[in-house]
Amino acid sequence: MRRRPLIVGNWKMHKTIAETRALLRELRAAPLPPGVEVVVAPPFTALPAAREELREGTIELGAQTMHQANHGPYTGEISPVMLHELGVRWVILGHSERRAYFSETDDAVAHKVRAALAHGITPIVAVGETATEHEEHATLTRVTLQARAAFAGLAPEDVGRCVVAYEPIWAIGSGLVEEPAGANAVIGSIRAAVEGLEQTRMLYGGSMKGENAAALLAQPEIDGGLIGGASLQAASFLAIVEAARARAQTP
Ligand code: 13P
């Protein structure tokens, strides 16, 4: 079965409500290539406005993180129930910025994956190695450990309902990109490390732009992209979405 290309915009801590509406109007006005699935993940505060803007059209709504409990004494947190109510059907979990700055652990990611699936929200599980791990050739060890931990104990069919994003930390926001063949090899290794990932969509993230997207998306294992900086302007995001057209058309 062919895996449908998926392009996800992770807006991180960018865009007010007004800016969100403006960007989504631009995105909605553009003809999107058939067969390419497109998701945007604005900040929590902009989700209701984003939902309104996306009511017509095919772009779907994601969140950048969530708590695993349905409700409770967790000051500042947002639950899967709350996200689902807002029309959110995707959530990025275990992003390296969450792991580094907000102490998100592999164990927490595993709980969140289960909670998201239980609420009909597709987890996009982010894994990736640091610059030091990269230099020390510890990439495969790191990312397979993270992937195995995130999906530990899940039935293979549930693993197959998730998405994985390989984001080398040194490539995020740096302008440095992993070589397409190298990213392909890492993603292939992750796929092989966990039962159920055979048909799971696997994304590359880290300085993906219109200029390098086609080469990355031509790789057999890379089903799409998780885009930070280039998702903040319509033209640069749409260039990546457009680059996925060829992949969607490959039989
Ligand atoms: P950049 O595309 O800005 O490198 O960010 C990648 C990322 O972290 C997406 O989640």
CATH of the domain at 124: 3.20.20.70
Residue 218 CA to residue 207 CA, distance in Å, equals 17
Residues 163/114/87/72 CA torsion (nearest 10 deg):
-140
The domain in which residue 117 lies consists of 48-53+60-224
**185 vs 206: CA distance, rounded Å:** 16
Contacting residues for 215 by C-beta, under 8 A, at least 6 apart: 180
Q: Indicate the pTM of the whole model.
A: 0.97
Query: Is the distance from the beta carbon of residue 93 to the nearest atom of ligand 1 less than 6 Å?
Result: no
Q: Please state the atom number of ligand 1 nearest to the C-alpha of residue 231.
A: 2
Q: What is the 3-state secondary structure (H, E, C) of 109-149?
A: HHHHHHHHHHCCCEEEEEECCCHHHHHCCCHHHHHHHHHHH
Does any domain span residue 201?
Answer: yes
* Residue 121 is assigned to a structural domain of this protein: yes
How many domains in the chain?
Answer: 1
Residue 1 has pLDDT above 60, yes or no: no
With respect to residue 13, please indicate whether it lies within any of the assigned structural domains: no
pLDDT tens digits, residue range 107-155? 999 999 999 999 999 999 999 999 999 999 999 999 999 999 999 999 9
Q: Is 38 contained in some domain?
A: no
Distance (angstroms) between ligand 1 centre and the Cα of 242 equals 18
Residues that are catalytic: 95, 167
Q: Tens digits of per-residue pLDDT, 41-92?
A: 999 999 999 999 999 899 999 999 999 999 999 999 999 999 999 999 999 9
Is residue 227 within 6 Å of ligand 1 at its C-beta?
yes
User: Residue 249: which pLDDT band, with cuts at 50, 70 and 90?
Assistant: confident
Given a contact cutoff of 8 angstroms between Cβ atoms, the answer to whether 40 and 231 are in contact is yes
